[in-house]
Amino acid sequence: MRHEMRIPFITNWVQRRKLRAEVSRLALHAFYHSLDEIDALEALLEAERRKAMEAEVQARVTAQTHRALNCAVAQFADAFDNSLTALHQADGLSYGEVSALSALLAAAGRPDAGELWMKHYEMGKEPDESENSDDIEEAEVIGA
């Protein structure tokens, strides 16, 4: 049997030193790991900030587009909410064109103007003409 010689004071000191070194190593490892996690979280945060800024820019562009579109629709409605224009022009348009014009005027808050265009369109057509006469004529030309 082999006996290790233990000197109490030196043996305890060596063991404590080993434990301190191990604790220091573990603490240093945990510290570096936390730094890596912080770097990853900062990168993620920066990416989210970029996305938020891009979304804000897109929202501004969309709002500007909506304002421009609303302005254009209002100008269109002002120009075509005119009974004389409807009287002289409606019968020269196809049913689909007058229907689209009427729907746009109604969507712009001018349903009476849209109905007026439809009324003038119908007044300009002879009683035996159908709504789809333009489509029939086109089909006959294509089929011929």
For 16-33, the pLDDT digits (tens) are 999 999 999 999 999 999
Say whether pLDDT at 138 is over 60.
no
pLDDT (average), residues 45-63 = 97
Q: What is the 3-state secondary structure (H, E, C) of the chain?
A: CCCCCCCHHHHHHHHHHHHHHHHHHHHHHHHHHHHHHHHHHHHHHHHHHHHHHHHHHHHHHHHHHHHHHHHHHHHHHHHHCCHHHHHHHHHHCCHHHHHHHHHHHHHCCCHHHHHHHHHHHHHHCCCCCCCCHHHHHHHHHHHC
In the DSSP assignment, the letter for residue 114 is: H
Q: What is the pLDDT of residue 140?
A: 46
Q: Please write the tens of the pLDDT for every residue from 90-104.
A: 989 999 999 999 999
pLDDT of residue 136: 47
Give the pLDDT band of residue 59 (cuts 50, 70, 90). Answer: very high
Take residue 138 and report the two structure tokens written for it: 């086109």
Determine contact, residues 115/80, Cβ cutoff 8 Å. no
